[in-house]
Structures are given as C-alpha cells and as structure tokens.
Amino acid sequence: MTAYVASSEIRSSFSAAMSAMYCTEVPAYGTLMDLVARVNDEALSTEPELRTRLEATDNLERISEERHGAIRLGTAEELAMMRRVFAVMGMYPVGYYDLSTAGVPVHSTAFRPVGSAALKRNPFRVFTSLLRLDLIADAQLREEAAKILATRRIFTDEAIALTKKAEEHGGLAKEDADRFVAAVLETFRWHDKAIVDVAMYHRLHDAHRLIADVVSFKGPHINHLTPRTLDIDKVQSLMTDYGIAPKAVVEGPPTRRCAILLRQTSFKALEEAVAFSNGNGGWQTGSHTARFGEIEQRGIALTPKGRGLYDQLLEQSRKVVRPAANGSNAEAYEAALAATFEAFPDDWATIRAEGLGYFSYSLTEKGSKASTDAADIETLVSEELVQFDPIVYEDFLPVSAAGIFQSNLGDGAQQEFVASPNQQRFETDLGTKILNEFDHYAGIEQASIDDCLSRLSRRPA
C-alpha cells in the first residue's frame, strides 16, 4: 500500500513555495515580511500574556507566516479546474463575495481548509475572484476579451495529470506531491510578457484596470500574500520608515480590546515593466501595476446577529466619513469608526451573553475534577466548570476586500456597477456548492459544547 501525503502537508509545502517565489519576485514583499517579524517579536516580548496564550493555542514559530494570497481568474473552466487543484491541498470554497457593488467587476470565494485540525496545521487560504465580463458595457470588447481568455492555458499538463491522479487514487505519494506543488506553482508565477499588444492592453485597461490585469497575461499571477501580524496599527505606521507605501487606512473594525473579525492593510501595488507584442513579432516595453503585499490580524468570528451589528455600524460610520484613497481624511475616518463602534460590546462576557460571537468551550480545572448531569452550558459557565475562548474568524469581508482591491487599482475615479450578486452562477461555474461560513463556526462551537457535556457526565461522582 502506498502512503499518501496528508492534504494539509501538501498545502503547507505549497504555501512555503509560494512565499519563497513571491519574495524573489517582489522584493518589497520581503521587506514587509521583515517588518512583520520584527513587530511580532516585539509584541511577544512586551506582552507576556499574549505569548502564553499563543503558546497554548498556536504554533509560535510560524506566527509570522502567510495566512492568505489572492488570484483573479478569467473563465468558468479556469475556476472549475482551480477548485480541483485546491481540493488536493485540502482547500474548499467557503463564502461568496459580490464585489460588483464596490466597483470591482468580479465575484469571489475563499479556498481554505475547513475544520479546526486542518486550520491549525496550516491555515493558508486563497481569495479567488472570477472576472465578470457580463458587467462590461462594451459588447465588442467583451467578446474580444472572452476570445483571448479562451486561448490561454493556465495549468501545466503535469498539474492537470497529477490532480486527476490524486482524485482517482484519493491522494498523492511523496514524490508526486512534490511534483504537484512545483507544477501548480507555475500557474501563480508572474509573466513579464503580455499576451496582448499595447493597444489591446489600453482598451482593456480603459474598460477597467482589473480586466487588463486578468486578460493581458498568460496566467493568474498571485497578486499578494498576507502574513499575520500581532499589531497591525504598528506595522501600518512603520511601513513608510521601511520605504513601502501603505494604503490609506486599515480596513475592518477599529482598534479594540476584544478583536473581532478581520483587520487588514497593504502596501500599494508596484509598477512593473511588461513587454507587449508590437504586432510584428517584436516587443514593446510598457508597464503594469498589480502586485502588492498585505497584512492581517484576526479576531473572533461573529454570529449572524453580531455580523449584522458590525455591518450596520460600518455603514453608519462610512456615512460620516468615507476613506479617501489618497489618505487625506484617514484620521477623521479612524475617529468616526472608533466612535461608531463604541456600540459594539468590548468584553468577551458581554459579546457571548448577547450572542454576538462564536466561542469554543472547555473544562476549567474545577470542571475537570467534577461530574454533573447538568446539560445547560450557561449553568456550567456560571458554576465555573466550563470556560470559553473566542473562535477565530477565518473568512473575509466584502467591504474590506473592495478597499484592498481599490487601493491597488490606483487612486483614480471609482467605477459604478449595478449590484448583481449571482452566487448560483458562480457555483455553476465552480462545479460545486460554496460552504456557508456561519455553519462552519456554529459547528465548531457545538462540538466543543458536546465535548464538555460528555466529559462531565461520564465521570463518576
């Protein structure tokens, strides 16, 4: 019998290989990684409590590693094949994000590990967008773009063959897994030669920068990677010292004692040299802006009720101040955000009591020596037999994602599209249903409650 490599192992190797490739391709990203590592080290040495907590729940050595990356695909076929490739690495589509409302002609999902064990082993996710040519007004351009996309092959033959092999055999042996990672990495590589000429590039670019980014190239280059930081405000404020230009504001909730959902920021995409065909078999030099670096800091996963409150407060705050891309009102934005979010409870007990967040329950020291038939988790908490810890949010936020997109598409005028979420269409293109993020967190919470109850009732009095 052949021993297969665990899908989480393949994902780990893949995320390490991607990181190494991206640091070489985008040196500023390496600089960001250095800054993140320094800030994380400082946070750990000045906050011993944080260190103890992380030692218990996380792998400290990997604290500054990548947590996610992002790509943009052009066709349904590319998306469907990408789904199969990610499945080999134990990554499944969770959550549907419609970005049309935010002026970006894509809809997206996140391929990520599902379940606490897989997330703990390696949480790497890929935010994956599919271009929506249907949102482009110019019918002729739409057709030409579709034609160009239909000619490209973003996966190598080996990547496809090994994906099929993994599907047929239920896994890959070590040697195949290594070849698989190397072959799949090719799809994410940067190509400095465009597959269109300058004139076409400009027509695509004028319709929307993102269309040019997807249609002009041989493959869906990874457009950013995102390590985890323990102090996002500090990294944001130090970026300039390190010679990298931060986006105007940190996306997501404001700075709080009890972190909720996800906060993220990035440095702005760099202008890179690209060769375009000149129509006569030669090349013409131009440039394209696509690739950047991001950081993230995650907090508790919110219930639908908590998420409703978050969305409402964010909207309320953005009515007061909308962040300008050039950063001119960043301070006013931060102040409005902080003031509005005072309405969101900022201690774990209240967040739990009001049913705003998901928690993982475990026995206290007292509980581990007790036995009871009580089946009500509230009673057990009040009797101090059971304790609770926040469950970390593993997904994304559409308003934040739009902010990350926008900051890297240039500071120019924003385009408007009619809101047109179409999850059904996305799922048809994907070839499977998308998992619901709330079900995932509710499941983890319930499993922890069941575990506490069974441990308590099994023990003789």
8 A C-beta contact, residue 293 and residue 26: yes
Local structure of 287: helix, strand or coil:
strand
Query: Among 243, 250, 459, 450, which residue's Cα sits nearest to residue 361?
Result: 450
Residues 64-83 close enough to bind Ni ion by CB under 5 A? 70
208 binds ligand OOG (CB under 6 A): no
Q: Which is nearer to ligand OOG, 98 or 445 (CB)?
A: 98
Binding-site partner at residue 129 among Ni ion, ligand OOG, none, CB < 5 to 8 Å by type: ligand OOG
**To the nearest whole angstrom, how small is the minimum distance from the Cβ of residue 437 to Ni ion?**
16
Residues 128-147 close enough to bind Ni ion by CB under 5 A? none
Query: What's 273's DSSP letter?
Result: E
Number of residues that bind Ni ion (CB under 5 A): 3
396 binds ligand OOG (CB under 6 A): yes
Query: Among 287, 288, 291, 241, which residue's Cα sits nearest to residue 266?
Result: 291
In the chain, the amino acid numbered 194 is A
In the chain, the amino acid numbered 190 is W
8 A C-beta contact, residue 304 and residue 440: no
Binding-site partner at residue 401 among Ni ion, ligand OOG, none, CB < 5 to 8 Å by type: ligand OOG
User: Which of 184, 391, 401, 444 touches ligand OOG (CB under 6 A)?
Assistant: 401
Residues 157-196 close enough to bind ligand OOG by CB under 6 A? none
223 binds ligand OOG (CB under 6 A): yes
Residues 275-294 close enough to bind ligand OOG by CB under 6 A? 294
271-277 and 283-289 beta bridge pairing? antiparallel
**To the nearest whole angstrom, how small is the minimum distance from the Cβ of residue 289 to ligand OOG?**
12
Of 227-235, 320-328, 372-380, 401-409, which segment contacts ligand OOG by CB under 6 A? 401-409
Question: Would you report the helix, strand and coil content of the chain in percent, each value rounded to 5?
Answer: 50, 20, 30
Binding-site partner at residue 72 among ligand OOG, Ni ion, none, CB < 5 to 8 Å by type: ligand OOG
**CB-based contacts of 308: which residues, under 8 Å, 6+ apart?**
none
Q: Per the structure block, which two tokens stand in for 42?
A: 């400082």
With helix as H, strand as E and coil as C, how does 388-456 read?
A: EEECECCCCCHHHHHHHHHHCCCCCCCCCCCCCCCHHHHHHHHCCCCECHHHHHHHHHHHHHHHHHHHH
Number of residues that bind ligand OOG (CB under 6 A): 13
**To the nearest whole angstrom, how small is the minimum distance from the Cβ of residue 253 to Ni ion?**
16
445 binds Ni ion (CB under 5 A): no
User: Which of 22, 29, 388, 405 touches ligand OOG (CB under 6 A)?
Assistant: 405
**CB-based contacts of 23: which residues, under 8 Å, 6+ apart?**
29, 30, 33
297 binds ligand OOG (CB under 6 A): no
Q: Which is nearer to ligand OOG, 260 or 380 (CB)?
A: 260
User: Which of 72, 208, 221, 288 touches ligand OOG (CB under 6 A)?
Assistant: 72
Residue spans of beta strands (DSSP E) within 81-161: 92-98, 106-112, 125-131
Binding-site partner at residue 292 among Ni ion, ligand OOG, none, CB < 5 to 8 Å by type: none
CA-to-CA distance for 330 and 222, rounded, in angstroms? Answer: 28
Residue 351 to residues 116, 166, 324, 348, 355: CA-CA distances in angstroms? Answer: 22, 43, 32, 5, 6
User: Which of 231, 294, 334, 429 touches Ni ion (CB under 5 A)?
Assistant: 294
**To the nearest whole angstrom, how small is the minimum distance from the Cβ of residue 70 to Ni ion?**
5
Q: Which is nearer to ligand OOG, 185 or 401 (CB)?
A: 401
129 binds ligand OOG (CB under 6 A): yes
Where along the sequence are the contacts to ligand OOG (CB under 6 A)? 70, 72, 127, 129, 223, 264, 294, 396, 400-401, 404-405, 408
Where along the sequence are the contacts to Ni ion (CB under 5 A)? 70, 226, 294
